[in-house]
A and B are shown apart, each in its own frame.
Chain A
Amino acid sequence: VRKEIGMSTEPALLTAHEASALLAGRKLSSEELVGSVLSRIERLEPKVKAYIKVTPERAIERARESDKRRASGKALGPLDGVPIALKDNMCTKGVETTCASRVLKGFIPPYDATVVARLEAGGAVTVGKANLDEFAFGSSTENSAFGPSRNPWDLSRVPGGSSGGSAAAVAADLCLGALGSDTGGSIRQPAALTGTVGLKPTYGRVSRYGLVAFASSLDQIGPLAKDVTDAAMIQEAIEGFDERDSTSVRLSGPPLTGAPGKAVKGLKFGVAKEWLDPGLDPEIRASFDRACLALGKLGLERVEVSIPRQEYALPVYYLVGPAEASSNLARFDGVRYGPRSAGANIVEMYKKTRSEGFGAEAKRRIILGTFVLSAGYYDAYYLRALKARTALRQDFQAALEKCDFLLSPATPTPAFRIGEKADDPLAMYLSDIYTVSVNLVGLPALVLPSGFSQGNLPIGIQLIGKAFDESTLFTASYALEKELAVVGRKPNLDG
């Protein structure tokens, strides 16, 4: 079989769409594909630490079921038999869901998140639960109660966060694709730092039912993938209206998987001067300029735009996010979920359970959120942030009236070292500077690799689209991916 594949010696190294074609042609079995991923996990997971939990028996069983379906011509979809990883803040029926927190230790959900149910209804094989910053609070996975994941390109560096485990698993070929969640850049920042493709869909495009809430007005689930085509394939499998999520909307139109390959000539991309600060890392700037040149070569027109209130995005995010998080995390009190610590009375029990269960960053955000929502400070901080959010929406609306999508750097620097920013929360927050505004305004954004630093670390580029116009993002990203020819480069993990 491996000879017939011709493109790699290990099926785990295939992209999801390559594997899908081979599975459909019966040139590869799901059992072999999943087996290849599992043996790679066994070999490399001690180095990468991408997963909190791997479910090999379940995966092999599902792979065999998939092979039976394929043999009888009853495949459930293009992802039938393809191994996928899930960020461990998505509920999985019968499989522990921890959010990388001690406060949820032992929590086994009685139901699947809608995205999980949709993936499995399409035949995808879930191989495990990927690591994250506790409750998705962070940009490095260092806030995980299970310890940090490692960047496959340099094991001494972070893979980004909070979906760092998902991104590391994709980059190290420990799955063929993964799901992450993005509240302020948690899919896109790790995608940029690991050389993978990540999409934060338009708010409302993907159901949040069964996603453990961080900031409900910002959270959105999306794919982390080996290339743009895979991202479209996974996104299509999970999106769509869900009556269990009141913010979900009905979608119509042709499939996203048709978007790659369409003509791009004549499209306009906007570049905001506020994103190209003179202090920007020179390698990030050079990579951004290369992407602009590549788009120009493809026949796209560059338009200069402005997001005048961009500098307020991060302050708004660090008021709105913690405010919503402090409310959402109030439910973790030892009564319904996870372990319970003994206390002299019920309030002491709450306090002891929460203090022992939450890590430092969760406590910091809960206290900050409690502060900005408290009487006397609500108007000065929270309400002001909500008004600034409106201003930011107006800026993006005006910019997107002049072009089809916006182009920005994805991160201010390539991957940083583990521990480098661990004691300075503000420095850590600044690593989301290019991503948070997209969540605040609800738009879709896709990050793909645009190059490598001199130290062989991936650099990403971000395309921000109009609401529900993911199709244009995929069309432009696919063309850019081909022109830049960066995708496909692999980290050396066997050395």
Chain B
Amino acid sequence: MALTRKEVEALAHLARLNLTPEELERFGGQLEAILGYVERLNGLDLSNMEPTTLSPPSPTVSGRTSRSPGSPPPTWRPTRRTSGPVRSGFRRYLKKVMSDE
């Protein structure tokens, strides 16, 4: 896909960048080459595929344990998974706020 100079300018504005005329020219050509390369993804049938946004281990993951060679790695589950950084102090504070309400 070819990007016009105006489109590159608009993207630069969205990205809060000032580009010199030379940069606009150069990046336009390079982005075109990169986008041309990534467009090979269009040849892939992804109709029934869910998107992967993160690459965490699968819910059941193999742990590091001693085992005989060739045997499948044993499975284990993380003992705690959080959806965000939780600090014990914050948790206590949250509990207090909730109980005060």
Name A's B-contacting residues (CB within 8 A): 202-204, 217-218, 241, 243-247, 249-254, 256, 258-259, 262-268, 309, 311-312, 314-316, 318-319, 326, 330, 333, 347, 350-352, 354-355, 358, 360, 363-364, 366-368, 370-371, 374, 381, 383-391, 393, 404, 425-426, 429, 439-442, 466-472, 475
Contact = CB atoms under 8 A, between A and B. Distances in A.
A351 B11 CA distance: 12
A217 B56 CA distance: 8
Given A315-B37, A469-B62, A441 B55 contact: yes
B25 interface: no
B27 A363 contact: yes
13 contacts: A203-B55, A217-B55, A246-B84, A249-B57, A256-B64, A263-B69, A315-B37, A330-B16, A351-B18, A371-B35, A387-B49, A468-B63, A470-B64
Given A243-B86, A386-B53, A426 B34 contact: yes
Task: Name A's interface SS.
Answer: helix
Interface of B: 3, 8, 11-12, 14-19, 23, 27, 30-31, 33-35, 37-42, 44, 46, 49-58, 61-66, 68-70, 73, 76, 78-88
B33 A265 contact: no
Given A243-B82, A263-B69, A333 B30 contact: no
Contacts of B37: 314-315, 318, 426
A467 B84 CA distance: 22
A258 B66 CA distance: 9
B72 to A, nearest CB: 9
Contact of B15 (A249, A352, A370): A370
B55 A440 contact: yes
Given A249-B78, A249-B81, A358 B51 contact: no
A387 B53 contact: no
Contacts, number: 192
Nearest to B82: A246
Q: Name, among A385, A387, A391, the residue most crowded by chain B CB atoms within 10 Å (CB to CB).
A: A387
Nearest to B40: A315
Contacts of B49: 387-388, 390-391
Contacts of B79: 250
B94 to A, nearest CB: 14
A246 B78 CA distance: 12
Given A404-B69, A468-B63, A204 B11 contact: no
A370 B53 contact: no
10 closest pairs, A vs B, by CB? A442-B55, A386-B51, A253-B64, A315-B38, A387-B49, A387-B46, A471-B64, A249-B78, A266-B69, A266-B70
Contact of A364 (B14, B27, B70, B80): B27
B15 A217 contact: no
Nearest to B38: A315
A458 to B, nearest CB: 28
Contacts of B84: 246
Contacts of B27: 363-364, 367
A335 B94 CA distance: 30
A370 B64 contact: no
B52 A247 contact: no
A314 B92 CA distance: 45
A351 B73 contact: no
Contacts of A440: 52, 55
Given A246-B83, A387-B46, 11 more contacts: A203-B55, A243-B85, A249-B57, A253-B64, A258-B66, A267-B70, A312-B41, A347-B16, A358-B17, A389-B55, A391-B44
Given A246-B82, A253-B63, A363-B19, A391 B46 contact: yes
A469 B64 contact: yes
A220 to B, nearest CB: 9
Contacts of A351: 16-18
A488 to B, nearest CB: 26
A366 B38 contact: no
A246 B42 CA distance: 34
A386 to B, nearest CB: 3
Nearest to A264: B69
